[in-house]
Structure 1
Amino acid sequence: MKFTLIEQKTLHQGFFRLDACTVRHDTFAGGELNIVRENLERGDAVVVLLHDPIRDEVLLIEQFRIGPVARNDNPWLIEVVAGMLHPGEDPLDCARHECIEEAGYEPTTLKSLGSYYVSPGGCSERIFLYLSEVDATQPVGTGGGLDHEHEDIRVFWVKREDALAMVRDGRINSSGPMLALLLAFQ
């Protein structure tokens, strides 16, 4: 099956970019279809689950997120380390510096848990998931995010089973940490 991107027009350029894409693609019935779809281009990101295997604890973070505000929901989400890749940046390099900036830990290993598209019907963002083992007693910094990125991050450790319970009961309710925890420990 083939497709042709006929036109890509930028509708909005801010922190993210919104494009209108005109595409022609083959159909499963053997024909062709011309469509126009909007795509939110926000770049790719990494998600890193830090695990101390001796204590069997995982590092969680909590921070304000704008998405839930639109739904009048609690905007302070419990997540794991994550960050956007800079253009051309290797996901492993991004994972390393995000662990230090957000959590205050330097990952000793980064095991890939896979990658996925966040919402491919209208967004090109791909997430690279990693698991890293660290010693919770050996931070290399304070974490908490970067002031110039306006980050305000609470960092805390919980037992692995408690984190999985937080996924099951909805206290962890965003895809990155949910998938990282389930892929790493289920």
Structure 2
Amino acid sequence: MTEGLDVPDRRGRTGLDQAGRALTGNPGVRVRDVRLLACNWYVLRTTTFDYRHADGHWSTQQRETYDRGNGATVLLYDPTRRTVLLTRQFRYPAYVNGHPDGMLLETAAVLLDDEAPEEAIRREAAEETGHTVGEVEQVFSVYMSPGSVTERLHFYAAPYSPATRTSTGGGVAEEGEDIEIVELDFDHALDLVGNGEIADAKTIMLLQWAALSGPFSPTGRRPAP
């Protein structure tokens, strides 16, 4: 008996080796086997599949995939004061891979589980930043690391102001969150991208969107909260 296969793992899941076996969207890919490597919290698998190359020949390949579910993130911006609201928190994976202290400046973000992205990100923005935002705008949805991670991240933006603050924020202490709220002038935030102080991909993408076609672009117009 194996956890995650025929008996529930710590999150109550079984059949975790079935993911991908029924895929039919690409006739040039035939999944042969899926093997579960780990399911401590997220899921690590190795998949064996046949792949048809451009010249018509087939080869058998293997890929490891890390499944942590999908996520959502939101850029909170004040169009009147030209500010953005970010968070700072400790990220061990960044710390162990060369970041000076692991304390990353980021947009608020959440893993979805089975929740709708817009609902989840509105709740998470309130928990992390203390601001209850109104309408959120969907910017785009992307695969952040498609070579090995299955996650699809949904990007949003929403205006905030002093009037939208409803709590102190900082995350949920019971879940171990210890989040600092950081308000930045938008142009200064772009400078921090340039000098490497903002090194989080989702945050950089949303800041660049805001500058190119969003609320701080030459033609950008967004409603105040």
Give the TM-score normalised by structure 2: 0.78
Conserved? CA contact 1:47–1:180, under 8 Å: no
SS in 2 for 1:180: helix
Q: Which moved more, 1:130-139 or 1:58-67?
A: 130-139
What is the rounded CA distance, in whole Å, between the counterparts of 1:43 and 1:71 in structure 2?
A: 23
Aligned to 1:71: 97
What is the rounded CA distance, in whole Å, between the counterparts of 1:34 and 1:136 in structure 2?
A: 57
- The structure with the larger Rg is 2
Give the TM-score normalised by structure 1: 0.94
Structure with bigger strand share is 1
| Structure with greater contact order relative to length (CA < 8 Å, sep ≥ 6) | 1
What is the rounded CA distance, in whole Å, between the counterparts of 2:173 and 2:40 in structure 1?
A: 21
Conserved? CA contact 2:49–2:61, under 8 Å: yes
SS in 2 for 1:54: coil
Q: Residue type matched to 1:139 in 2?
A: R
How far 1:7 moved relative to its partner?
1.6
How far 1:136 moved relative to its partner?
3.1
The reply on whether 1:83 has 2:110 as its aligned counterpart is: yes
What is the rounded CA distance, in whole Å, between the counterparts of 1:29 and 1:97 in structure 2?
A: 49
5 Å-filtered alignment, 1:28-39, equals 28-39=54-65
User: Identity rate of aligned residues, in percent?
Assistant: 29
The equivalent position to 1:125 in structure 2, one of 147, 151, 159, is 151
What is the rounded CA distance, in whole Å, between the counterparts of 2:81 and 2:131 in structure 1?
A: 15
**Unaligned runs of at least 5 residues, structure 1:** none
Q: Residue type matched to 1:169 in 2?
A: N
Conserved? CA contact 2:133–2:164, under 8 Å: no
What is the rounded CA distance, in whole Å, between the counterparts of 1:160 and 1:137 in structure 2?
A: 19
Deviations 1:55-105 (A, max 9, x none): 11100110000112322422000111011112x211111111111111111
Aligned to 2:80: 54
**Unaligned runs of at least 5 residues, structure 2:** 1-25, 213-225
SS in 1 for 2:133: coil
What is the rounded CA distance, in whole Å, between the counterparts of 2:115 and 2:81 in structure 1?
A: 33
What is the rounded CA distance, in whole Å, between the counterparts of 1:165 and 1:171 in structure 2?
A: 9
Deviations 1:92-144 (A, max 9, x none): 11111111111111121211110111111111011111111111343011110
How far 1:4 moved relative to its partner?
2.1
SS in 2 for 1:121: coil
5 Å-filtered alignment, 1:151-166, equals 151-166=177-192
How far 1:5 moved relative to its partner?
2.1
Conserved? CA contact 2:38–2:45, under 8 Å: yes
